[in-house]
Amino acid sequence: MPTAAPYLQDPHSFAQPNLVRVTHLRLDLAVNFTARILTGLATWQLDNTAGHTELILDARSLEIEATYLGETEAESTAFQLSAENDPVLGQALRIAIRPDTRAVTIRYRTTPEAAALQWLSPEQTAGRQHPFLFTQSQAILARTWIPCQDSPGVRFTYEARVAVPADLLALMSAGNPQVLDRAGHYEFRMEQPIPSYLMALAVGRLDFSSLSGRTGVYAEPETLPAATSEFGDLENMVAAAEELYGPYRWERYDLLVLPPSFPFGGMENPRLTFVTPTILTGDRSLTSLIAHELAHSWSGNLVTNATWNDFWLNEGFTVYFERRIMEKLYGKPYADMLQVLGHSALLHTMGELGAGSPDTHLHLDLAGRDPDEGLNEIAYEKGDYLLLTLERLVGRARLDTFIKEYFARHSFQSMDTASFVTYLRRELLDQEPGLEDRLQLDAWINGPGIPAGAPPVSSERFAAVEAALQQWQQGTPARELTLADWSSHEWVHFLQGLPADLSLAQLQELDDAFTFTSSTNAEILTAWFPRALAAGYEPVNGPLRQFLTRVGRRKFLVPLYKALLATPDGHARARQLYAEARPNYHSVATSTFDVLVGR
C-alpha cells in the first residue's frame, strides 16, 4: 500500500494538519428545536507526533464556550477565535495544547446563522405534525455546526451521541438506528475515516423500510410507500456498482428522503445518501440520481478530492460511473439519453461561462471565492467527457481495470489533480506512444472548453423525439404525433428541442396534448415553465408559484428564476415570489437567490 499523499494546503481551510491533525471525533449533541440550536461537546483525538503547541480548527458562526485538554472537561485550556471573521471561511479557532496532548474537548453551541442547518417547521414537512432538521456540509459548511479541520484532505473516524425530542428519529452518516428510541437518545459510529464535508445529521418523524439485506430507505411515513417502490432497484444498483469497480466498503447503503426544501438532488453522505423527494415520480425514471450518489461511495467517499479545486475528481468520475451503472441495469440506449442530456448541459454551461473562461478548466482555482460558486456543471460533465474520451481511446476493458485499481489503491485517501495525472500517465498513458497526445490531457485539465477530438455523443431513443419535434414543426398536430412510451428524459429532450419563439397558441396546443402544466414530474416542469414564461402563457402561473414555494432544489430554481427575470415584468414578479418562497429555502439556495433575484 502506498502511503497517504502529504496534505496539500487547502485555500478554504485555516487548519494546518501538517502540524497537528485530527484523527477521531467524539460528538455529543443536543438538538433544540425551540431555540433552533445544537449544543455540543466535541472531543478530537490528535496526531501531534512533532509535539506542536497549537491546534487550528475551522469555525463559522459557532459559539465556543470552553476548551479543554484531554477527553474530559477537567483541565481547561486557552482558545482564541481569529479577529478576522470571513463571511465564507469563518474563523480560525486556535486551541493551546501541550507537545504531549493527544486530545482536546470543546464545549460549543451553534447559532441560528449556522449555514449547514435547515430547521423546518411542521408545515414544511409531509406529515405537518413534527419539525425536521437536516444538515448539508459540503462544501465548507461542516464548520458551521462542528469545530473541525474542514478540508476534504483531512479524514477522521467518529462516534456520536445525539439527544432529540422523544418522537423523532436521528440519523447520521454512520451506522444508523432503524427504530425510534423512546427517550430520544441515539448513538452512532463511523469506523471508516471520512472528511468533514461528509458529516451529516437529520432529525425528523422518520420510518424505515428495508429493500434488501444491506439497503433500505428512510422517509416520513407519508412518503415511505412511494419511496419504497421508487427505489426497488437499489440492491441491483449496488451489485452493479460492485461488479464494475470493486466491493462496497461502507457496510449498509440506505437512502433518506428529505422534505422538498432540500437544496440538492442528492448528497452522498456515507452509508446514508440524502435525497430530494422530487425524484419520486412513480415510474422510477429519475433514479440515475441514486446511481450517482451511490457511485460516490467509491469516487469521492473512498478516493476524495484533496481540495475543492480538484472537485472534478469527485464529480467527473461519479457521473461516468453513474452512467455505467445505469447502462448495466437498463441498457445502452437508456444510458445514452443521460449522456446526451449531460452533454447539452455542458454546452449550456460553457456558453454561460464564456469560451475562454478558466472556470471551464477541470482543475479550478477557487482561492478567495466561495467554493459553492465555482462548483458547476463543468466538473461533472467535462470530467465525465474526459473519461469517455479515454474509454474510446483505450477500450472499456483497460479503462475499467485502471479505474478499479485507482479506487483500490487510494481508498480512504485524498487525491489532487497533479497526483492523478502522474498516476494516469504511469498506469495507462505512458504504455502507448502518442496516447497522451491523442487524449490531449493537458487541454482537458488546464484548458477551457472541450478539446477537439472528444467523441460525438448520440442517442437512438432521442432520434425518435427529434423526429416527433420535426413532424410537429412541419404541421402535424401535437395530438397526432407518434410518441412511444416516453420516459422523463425523452420529454425533457422534447421540451429542450422546441423552438425558442413559441406562440401562445402553440403552447396551448402542446399543453392540451401533453398536460405539461399539471405534470408532477419536476424535471418536466423545469423544462416547461421557462417556455411558458417566455410566451406569457398564464395557465402556468399558479403551478409555478406552487412549485417555487414548495421545492428548494437549486438546480430547478435557478432556471426558473432566470426565466422569470427575463420576462417583461419579471423582476417585480420574481422578487415577490422569492419573498414568499424564501422561508422554505436552505441557506445554500438563499445565498444564490439573494444575489440573483434580490431581497
Using CA atoms, how far residue 110 sits from 12, 32, 79, 83, 258, in Å, is 20, 10, 17, 19, 22
Using CB under 5 A as the binding criterion, the count of chain residues that bind Zn ion stands at 2
Query: Between 306 and 325, how does the x/- string for binding to ligand BES read (CB under 6 A)?
Result: ---------x----------
Tell me how many helices (H) and strands (E) the chain has.
20, 21
User: How many C-beta atoms lie closer than 10 Å to residue 182's C-beta?
Assistant: 8
Cell numbers at 135, concatenated: 444538515
Q: Which residues inside 359-388 make contact with ligand BES, applying CB under 6 A?
A: 375, 380
- Nearest approach in angstroms of CB 324 to ligand BES is 14
Using CB under 6 A as the binding criterion, the count of chain residues that bind ligand BES stands at 15
Catalytic residue among 220, 230, 268, 293: 293
Our finding on whether 587 is near ligand BES (CB under 6 A) is: no
Give the interface segment with ligand BES, choosing from 63-71, 79-87, 161-169, 292-300 (CB under 6 A): 292-300
Query: Between 82 and 121, how does the x/- string for binding to ligand BES read (CB under 6 A)?
Result: ----------------------------------------
- Nearest approach in angstroms of CB 61 to ligand BES is 18
Q: What is the Cα–Cα distance from 470 to 331, expressed in whole angstroms?
A: 26
Cell numbers at 72, concatenated: 474530559
SS3 (DSSP) at 43: strand
- Nearest approach in angstroms of CB 138 to ligand BES is 4
Please report where in the chains the cell 462496497 appears, as a residue: 248
First CA to last CA distance, the chain: 53
Our finding on whether 289 is near ligand BES (CB under 6 A) is: yes
Using CA atoms, how far residue 399 sits from 211, 292, 411, 428, 599, in Å, is 32, 19, 18, 8, 49
Residue 138 contact among ligand BES, Zn ion, none, beta carbon within 5 to 8 Å by kind: ligand BES
- Nearest approach in angstroms of CB 111 to ligand BES is 21
Q: Which residues inside 255-284 make contact with ligand BES, applying CB under 6 A?
A: 264-268
Catalytic residue among 330, 380, 537, 585: 380
Q: What is the Cα–Cα distance from 468 to 481, expressed in whole angstroms?
A: 6
- Say whether 293 is catalytic: yes
Query: Between 318 and 337, how does the x/- string for binding to Zn ion read (CB under 5 A)?
Result: x-------------------
Nearest to 309 by CA among 358, 256, 259: 358
- Nearest approach in angstroms of CB 308 to ligand BES is 8
**CB-count exposure of residue 6 (10 Å: 0-12, 13-18, 19+):** exposed
Give the interface segment with Zn ion, choosing from 115-123, 317-325, 327-335, 543-551 (CB under 5 A): 317-325
Q: What is the Cα–Cα distance from 213 to 241, expressed in whole angstroms?
A: 16
- Nearest approach in angstroms of CB 380 to Zn ion is 7
Active-site amino acid positions: 293, 380
